[in-house]
Amino acid sequence: MLGILARLAASTTNYGNAGGGGVPALTSAEVAGLLRGLSTAQLNYALAKYCGDGESFKSVQIHLMCQAGSYAARNEWQTERGKPRVMSLGALAAIESINPLLCFKCNSPAMLGIKHCSCDKPRLKMSQADKYRYINISNTSWCNVWRDRYEVLFNYCQVLDAEVGRVVCLNNRKGGYCDEFSG
């Protein structure tokens, strides 16, 4: 887990020091230092995406479902009662942002970071058809209404990811900014 997170900040002091099996080693204190300043949502996102943590993945999905509900209420999205489409949008945004290769048949957080699942249905990428089928709507409804709503949630995930990168880079530079984030 820690070696994967080290890739967020490739110049970490101990990154070049090989642990057992040539895996870069970070201490718990170094990891905590890299993640210092992240919100709970950002921390869960980092642990899910970069460390394959299943519980964090579930937390991100729940967070995105709540975000979807907030966006729906704030923007007065017309929805059908009893249809969890709005919540499905949030869960789908988390899936695509963290692991677009996650198999919908299994939909298991244990599959994070694995390219082929146990049902032997490898994904190359998430298609538009995958998305509207996951939400359980027609292609027309997806194109006319739900795709734009989904993009709002997916972009929120991209903001989480960018902030994780910025904070980790900032913490890795001991208070300085990385070139790609200074502007």
Q: Cα(41)–Cα(67) distance, rounded to whole angstroms?
A: 11
Question: What three-state secondary structure class fits 18?
Answer: strand
Q: Cα(145)–Cα(60) distance, rounded to whole angstroms?
A: 24
For residues 150 and 92, is the Cβ–Cβ distance under 8 A? yes
Task: Give the CA count within 13 Å in the CB-facing half-sphere of 76.
Answer: 0
Q: Cα(97)–Cα(140) distance, rounded to whole angstroms?
A: 24
- Which of 144, 153, 102 lies closest to 123 in space, CA to CA? 102
Q: What is the mean pLDDT of residues 2-28?
A: 51
Is the sign of the CA dihedral 53, 59, 61, 63 positive or negative? negative
Q: Where are the alpha helices (DSSP H) in 12-80?
A: 28-35, 40-51, 54-74
Quickly tell me which residue has 């170094």 as its tokens.
Answer: 30
Strands (E), 18-166: none
Output the pLDDT for position 15: 42
For residues 7 and 113, is the Cβ–Cβ distance under 8 A? no
Q: Cα(167)–Cα(178) distance, rounded to whole angstroms?
A: 10
pLDDT tens digits for range 134-178: 888 999 999 999 999 999 999 999 999 999 988 888 887 754 445
**What phi and psi values does residue 128 have, to the nearest 5 degrees?**
-60, -40
pLDDT tens digits for range 39-92: 999 999 998 888 778 889 999 999 999 999 999 989 988 777 655 889 999 999
Domain ranges of the chain: 2-181
Output the pLDDT for position 1: 36
